[in-house]
Amino acid sequence: MKLFKLLFGAKDEETTSERLDRLETEMRRLQEEWTDVYAKFRLMHMRVAKQVQRLPESSEEEPQREEREGQRESNLPGLSLSPRLQKIQQEILARRGNRSVPTKVGE
């Protein structure tokens, strides 16, 4: 291979300074690319960390929220019922209320 180069010579061989400039340019591009990748990674890592931090907080709030919703539903009976069904439901609740009052035997 060396003999071939000596006989015919390499016309497109770049000089040392041109090669150095090309390698420096490629190195700068590579550094910029990895800087961008690292910035994106950090951003994604911070988002995941925030979600992990919020997870225990949200799991503690869920049962409380469900209890409050259950209480609201029990405080508003018949909210989505027709007027006729609301009247029937009120009568049923009134009867149930009368059952819960203890009566003395013999009265």
Tokens of 56: 């225990």
Q: What is the chain's alpha carbon radius of gyration, rounded to the nearest angstrom? A: 40
The answer to whether the beta carbons of residues 107 and 96 sit under 8 Å apart is no
For 86, counting Cβ atoms within 10 Å of its Cβ (0-12 exposed, 13-18 middle, 19+ buried), the class is middle
Q: How far apart are the first and last CA of the chain?
A: 123
The stretches of the chain forming alpha helices (DSSP H) are 2-8, 16-75, 83-100
pLDDT tens per residue, the chain (107 residues)?
677 667 776 666 778 889 999 999 999 999 999 999 999 999 999 999 999 988 877 766 666 665 665 555 555 554 678 889 889 999 999 988 876 555 555 54
Distance, in Å, from the CA atom of 100 to the CA atom of 46, rounded to the nearest integer, reads: 56
The answer to whether the beta carbons of residues 78 and 90 sit under 8 Å apart is yes
